Amino acid sequence: MTGKMFEEAGELRDLLFTMMESLPGGLLLADRQGVLLAANRKAGDLLGLAGTSLQGRSCYQLLEQVLGMPADQTGPLRRPGGRLTWAAGPGRKKGAVHLAISRHELQSPFQRLAGFFLVVEDITYLRMMEAGLERQKRYAAMEEMAVHMTQELKNPLGSLELSASILKRELREDPDNERLAGQMLRAIRTMDHLLDNYVTFSSLPAPVPARIDVRAWLERTAARLEEAAREKGISCVRRYGHQRETIVGDPELLHQLSLNLGLNGLESMTAGGELRIETGTAAPAAGRAGFLEVKFIDRGCGIPEELQERIFDPFFTTKDRAGGLGLAIVHHITEAHGGLIQVASRPGHGTTVSVLLPDGGGRVKGEG
């Protein structure tokens, strides 16, 4: 800066505040004691500060209040260079978000200016990417196991099915034993069907892209869900807020994805209540294409936090819910479309599953 700019304090102040407002991350400016001096608009958005008084507030107490952060968790920020990450819960107005907060000391040549600033960054997108990579590692081992198991068991099961069919035919004059042979044959065919599911899981077909009308896709799913919901007195509510009318994806695979998520939500609920399907458009980071966000929100039993990262694992189960491949296939379909998936849940309050699918267009075969 030039000497002239230092002499014009008003212009310098305006320049500094303009710089603060132009930063891509949130910024909280504090004095030596941690009392807030200023906060930019991005910090207000990330922390949900609308309607919150900042004057004379300690930055530590503010974080404890708006993020529900215990006092002992702010310890790292009380030291120079401190950093912490925090997951703000789904009860927030804008939904669950992962934040990284770091402290940086003010470097000023003026003795009377001293303090620090906190940088607040939204790392939700990065955390979702990390979670997806971890699941991919687990899936790779499970897929290999599924292939080997299928190869080892298919031939013996085929022989057993043939033998059981012959035995059933030979026992036509003996109704009781014929019935037993029939039960054996059905059990063998059930096992064979399960192996076919494993094969589907281990080699999910590549998406065949087409242009999909988002509302029509989800209305088709809702129509199927309403049949199951009606028996339990549950209403299926749709709230559409997306900007692009269409996305590019595989219609049948995405229908399977949304149907699995909806049925999973219904299974977690008792009689009454509502299952919500909501859409919106999200841009997770500057410079990236937007995403179509599809949320399935139930008011069921919820999932403990320590189990939430495992619900997309094949055959994962809780004590009150059967395990299967439904959510694992949901994850596969999401990944195959270049998307991301996230779950937020509180026991006794329900679960929100959010699927982010690229909505940046793209062409399909035959389009000009």
Q: How many domains does the chain have?
A: 3
Query: Is residue 111 domain-shared with residue 136, that is, in the same domain?
Result: no
> Which carries the bigger pLDDT value, residue 85 or residue 211?
211
| Domain final residue, candidates 202, 230, 255 | 202
- Where is the domain boundary, 75, 103, 122? 122
Could you give the CA distance from residue 330 to residue 320 in angstroms, rounded to a whole number?
21
Claim to verify: residue 226 and residue 136 sit in the same structural domain: no
Say how many Å lie between the first and final Cα of the chain, rounded: 53
Number of C-beta neighbours around residue 197 at 10 A? 15
pLDDT-derived band at 91 (thresholds 50, 70, 90) equals: very low
- Say if 365 falls within a structural domain: no
What residues make up the domain containing 325? 210-358
Q: Do 8 and 96 fall within a single domain?
A: yes
Instruction: Summarize pLDDT for 36-88 with one digit per residue, the tens.
Output: 888 888 888 888 887 677 777 888 888 888 888 888 888 888 888 888 888 77
CATH code where residue 33 lies: 3.30.450.20
DSSP 8-class letter at 32: T
Instruction: Answer with the one of 149, 175, 202 that is the final residue of a domain.
Output: 202
Considering the domain architecture, whether residues 244 and 308 belong to the same structural domain is answered as: yes
> Looking at the structure, do residues 240 and 196 belong to the same domain, yes or no?
no
- For residue range 101-145, list pLDDT tens digits in order: 999 988 766 556 678 989 898 887 777 777 667 766 666 666 677
Residues 153, 282: one domain? no
Q: What pLDDT does 200 receive?
A: 59
Asked whether residue 88 falls in the same domain as residue 157, the answer is no
148 inside domain? yes
Average pLDDT, the chain: 79
Q: What confidence tens digit (pLDDT) does each residue in 317-346 have?
A: 654 554 566 788 788 889 889 898 888 888
356 beta partners: 293, 340
> Are residue 223 and residue 349 in the same domain, yes or no?
yes
Q: How many Å apart are CA 45 and CA 93, to the nearest integer?
A: 11
**Domain assignment of residue 48, yes or no:** yes
* Position 302 in a domain: yes
Q: Are residues 165 and 304 in the same domain?
A: no
